[in-house]
């Protein structure tokens, strides 16, 4: 059974992100297709797992994302410890806070997992016709 992100499967969140292509929060632009994060036009270096985790959280549109959903979407069902997830969340918080220290981007949801806090706008990129 697929893991659920408050009524949305992890696969559904990924399809949403790829259909929208760009997710915008504050001065950040997360490009799902190019797999990049930019802040005020400058590239922000992310490891592949960090990018996958950020994409999942941001595309979940403020909903709490369970740790099971994170493992399914980011680690593809591999045996992953809670410490590995926590470490990736810690690094993401640090990367985002270094550029925007006044916004708490990722909140822990006790007994569930994590949720992305800032409002997220979406933008399709002209010229990209991607089908789910």
Percent of the chain with pLDDT over 70: 79
List phi, psi (to 5°) of 107: -110, 140
List phi, psi (to 5°) of 89: -65, -45
Q: What is the pTM (predicted TM-score) of this model?
A: 0.81
- 10 Å Cβ neighbour count for 50? 19
What average pLDDT does this structure show over 97-113?
Answer: 94
* CA max distance for the chain: 42
CATH-assigned architecture of domain 4-116: Orthogonal Bundle (1.10)
Tens digit of pLDDT for each residue in 10-58?
555 555 555 668 899 999 999 988 899 999 999 999 999 999 999 999 9
Mean pLDDT of the chain: 84
């Amino acid at each position: 059974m697929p893991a659920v992100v408050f009524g949305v499967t992890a696969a559904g969140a990924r399809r949403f992100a790829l259909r929208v292509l760009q997710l915008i929060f504050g001065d950040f632009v997360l490009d799902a297709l190019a797999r990049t994060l930019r802040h005020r036009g400058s590239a922000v270096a992310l490891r592949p797992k960090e990018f996958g985790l950020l994409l999942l959280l941001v595309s979940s549109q403020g909903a709490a994302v369970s740790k099971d959903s994170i493992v399914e979407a980011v680690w593809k069902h591999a045996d992953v410890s809670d410490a590995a997830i926590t470490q990736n969340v810690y690094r993401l918080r640090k990367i985002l806070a270094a550029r925007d220290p006044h916004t708490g981007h990722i909140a822990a949801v006790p007994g569930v997992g994590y949720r992305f806090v800032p409002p997220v706008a979406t933008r399709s990129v002209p010229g990209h016709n991607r089908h789910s």
